[in-house]
Structure 1
Amino acid sequence: MAYRVPRHPRVEHRTRRQNRLAGLTGLVLLWILVLIMALVAERGIGRQHLPWKSLSVVDPVGMATRIKAARAGKDPATCRAILRKAGLSYEEAPDKTDGGFCTVRDALKIDGGMAALAPTDAPMVCKEALALSIWERQVVQPAAYEVLGQGVVALEHYGTYSCRRMYGKTAGPVSEHASADAIDLAGFRLADGQTVYVARDWNDPGPKGQFLRRVRDGACRVFITTLSPDYNAEHRDHFHLDMHGWNKCA
């Protein structure tokens, strides 16, 4: 007969109890550590880096800005309240379904409180408007003053809503423009009337080129997708900025 290790019920019971106690102790210590870290974060880390803090357009861009903007954009009332609190004004854009695969819901048109959009007819979903307003206030304007010595008065664009597939193809993935969740930013009009264009100035080694690269890099921290001339030839003349899908910065 095969040898069987003798059982000791009292020893086994004590071992199981000790294991349970060790597991419970470890769990309690873990939660204590989490609590301590949360308290330290509350006191020593800026709210822009903490995902559980509410979003504000006046906060600098932080590690949690993009996450909070995307989350706030899921609730139309919350999103609009953040815009109003920051002093932005807007008009509601009508819902629409077009072309069999293009649907716009929860869209608005910003008409005050930031650099003007040119053309003004730029409907976009609220989370896109929210991200755009943060980028304009916390990235574009500071970069303009520091690099170019003046502010930006208008953002020139190629459009927000467009019922089409990506790259205008007849088949394939639907563009984010088909849901008004993107803007193609072509250039910036400065206070003194000068302009900075992606197509013309992207490779400029001087201040205009430096400004464009700085605002592109800043957009990568606010928008979920940021595409520039570094991405491909189709984006040689604009920045594509949207709040959908997976993080991409190029």
Structure 2
Amino acid sequence: MRKGVFSAVMALLAMGFWLSAARAQAETEVDVALVLAVDVSRSMDPDEQELQRQGFMEAFRSPLVHDAIRKGIVGRIIVTYVEWSGVDYQTVIVPWTIIDGPESAMKFADGLDNAPIGRTRRTSISGAIDFSAKLLDRTGVEPLRRVIDISGDGPNSSGRGVMAARDEAVAKGITINGLPIMLKRPSGFGDMENLDLYYKDCVIGGEGAFLIPVRERQHFAEAIRTKIIREIAALPAPSPLIQTVQTQSPSACPEGDRGMYRWDRN
């Protein structure tokens, strides 16, 4: 009898420990760990940079984004906002923040509203990817998915090859999505005729990777909101703005420090 009671007590203790461990794991899980990596190089006009920042702020204040977070498997995400330009410039503007409802989403947007916007030289997409991948190793939580969201208005112009950085991140299970900003016609060195094709072939990658080009100022906020909702939900979106990865990259992608750009694949 005593042996039976002892066994029952041990079974209850074991179940208690298991439930406690399961509860602790649940508390550290999030649907997605998302790095918002935003270009602040000098090729971006100050008003374009402000438009970009406002677009992200509006997205996290949007009930549509709040609803997407709530409907996730876990119901919360973790996000950080990074500004980048040259190979040696990546700055965390808002650190990793758990967002589990409208209040925390608004707080994240307020953090962006209160921070000044940087503006420096060169464009190192590879540096932004490498920096973001390191951040994703230090979230302190267990994300179901890990995503880097790259926005910028030009090709890689400093640092190592962008394809090498992308491929290393993808090999770690990270998805890279893109927001190529195409508000101005190419006019000089470092500009690219078809930046969306460059992003599609050379920058984005991983499971479910996609890009949304921004060609009109009035579409900026909508593009950012659509992109974040899809990244949170990990579901196909009906928006005609979205372009997905369909093929492998071409044999080579031009790098910014090797000359002028025109990206034609016809």
* TM-score normalised according to structure 2 size: 0.28
Q: Of the two, which has the highest radius of gyration?
A: 1
Which of the pair has the greater relative contact order for Cα pairs under 8 Å at 6+ separation?
Answer: 2
